Chains A and B, each alone.
Chain A
């Protein structure tokens, strides 16, 4: 099935130790998004790639970076995770300007110890 795949499903990292979360898609969608979702809160957009163009949200901390080496893959790098970065990280894709609607991955739950 064409889909959005996030690895790993669960990630435990040490405080301050860089960590990378990955997302891949077989949908050939041109837009890829990273959302952060903390418990009982709305998913919050961190940044997105429109093709190769990176769009950062104004309130996304510098600690969060992203890479998109090709259409299929997108990575979320957290340079120095803090306890407050523990959350579910959701990757989503869309095919702009085809009718809107995101396809989400299953998410990666990050724990910082």
Chain B
């Protein structure tokens, strides 16, 4: 079955500490993975996608097909990083349809 697992419901770190939010996936094809973020009282928004190999707000995520993981990392957490983070897997069907399947999310709290 195609699924996304975020094992940590809550994660708390201190400002300046490294942070890693875990994401594992199950997918038979070539995966397309994303991280979405939701700050307090704001809408869900795209943070980064693995195909772009980009760094956004100091966050990076590397796809590890051997471990079926797409963990989100930042070397030095900031208080403004406190938010809900969702890992998502793109499923592509016949006829060009596509849809995102989300993990349950990890709530990151960065303490001063």
CA distance A44 to B45 in the complex (A): 16
Interface residues of B in 11-51 (CB under 8 A from A): 32, 34, 42-46, 49, 51
Interface centre among A40, A43, A104 (most CB of B within 10 A): A43
Contact B96 A97 (CB under 8 A): yes
Contact mask for chain A residues 53-84; partner B; CB cutoff 8 A; 1 contact, 0 none: 00100000000000000000000000000000
Asked if B86 is at the interface of the complex by the 8 Å CB criterion, the answer is yes
- 17 residue pairs from A and B, CB less than 8 Å apart: A33-B99, A33-B100, A41-B104, A42-B4, A42-B86, A43-B86, A45-B100, A45-B101, A48-B97, A92-B44, A97-B96, A100-B34, A100-B49, A104-B44, A105-B43, A106-B42, A106-B43
Known: A101-B46, A102-B100. 9 other contacts (CB 8 A): A33-B99, A40-B9, A41-B104, A42-B86, A43-B86, A48-B97, A48-B99, A50-B97, A105-B43
